[in-house]
Amino acid sequence: MDIINNLKIIQNRIDQACAKSGRNPSEVKLLLATKTVSPERIKIALDAGYTLIAENRVQELKEKYNELKNSTHSSHFIGHLQTNKIKDVLKCGVSCIQSVDRYDLAEKLHQKLQSEGKTIDIFIQVNTSGEESKFGVSPENAIELTKKIALLNTLKIKGLMTIGLFSDEMEKVRLCFQTLKRIQLEINELQIENAHISELSMGMSGDLEIAIEEGATIIRVGTDIFGRRL
């Protein structure tokens, strides 16, 4: 399992997808999805110059935090977040929560941040595939949720996040990413104060090319860098 070589392969895939869609590779950030990966192996990727990592379970975030806190990287949170775990996420140096998908969570986050005099970047997670197993606000309700959360001034809405349909039918996967892009355009058209959506977090190991073609600015890759999870 050669992490460095895998990173090169991913960078090539990013470059090719950008070339195909006339985009500049500098517009696409690679986020390392590090669930189940040990701090030692995460450090190999960080030492290679990658600076954006994310966990999706609070328990794992806490376990790895001390070992990684001396590296200069940004840490995002990409998993389902229960309100009783908010304080743990905030304690672990997370700079952006990509998985805000309901008002209740946003409100409790806001209350906690306000009491500490802090702010945080957030993305709104949208369930573009309609699969019941996935979290995220429905596309129909995404704009209303964004408008409401935009009134909570400790939460800086910077992006939208989605997980594409798990399917071999790539045109159906593509529709998910097109939906996220369309919601971005609709929100930005409304010029809501505190909700200028510049980031689209979409695309993983199996579908990153399609996501890039449809406008991803952050792709989240785990398996094709660190190997298959047990």
Ligand X SMILES: *Cc1c(COP(=O)(O)O)cnc(C)c1O
* Binding interface with ligand X (CB under 6 A): 33, 35, 56, 78, 163, 204-206, 220-224
Residue 202 CB, nearest approach to ligand X (Å): 9
Q: Are 163 and 134 in contact (CB under 8 A)?
A: yes
Nearer to ligand X, 35 or 41 (CB): 35
Nearer to ligand X, 35 or 112 (CB): 35
Phi, psi of 144 (to 5 degrees): -60, -45
Distance CA 17, CA 114 (A): 41
Residue 98 CB, nearest approach to ligand X (Å): 8
Q: Are 97 and 122 in contact (CB under 8 A)?
A: yes
Q: CA-based Rg of the chain, rounded to a whole angstrom?
A: 17
Nearer to ligand X, 71 or 205 (CB): 205
Nearer to ligand X, 97 or 142 (CB): 97
Residue 187 CB, nearest approach to ligand X (Å): 21
Residue 134 CB, nearest approach to ligand X (Å): 9
Tokens matching residue 97: 């929560």
Nearer to ligand X, 75 or 154 (CB): 75
Tokens matching residue 73: 């990287």
Residue 180 CB, nearest approach to ligand X (Å): 13
End-to-end Cα spacing for the chain: 14
Distance CA 90, CA 113 (A): 9
Nearest residue to ligand X by CB is 222
Nearer to ligand X, 66 or 223 (CB): 223
Residues contacting 142, CB < 8 A, separation 6+: 124, 126, 160, 183, 187
Q: Are 19 and 33 in contact (CB under 8 A)?
A: no
Residue 141 CB, nearest approach to ligand X (Å): 20
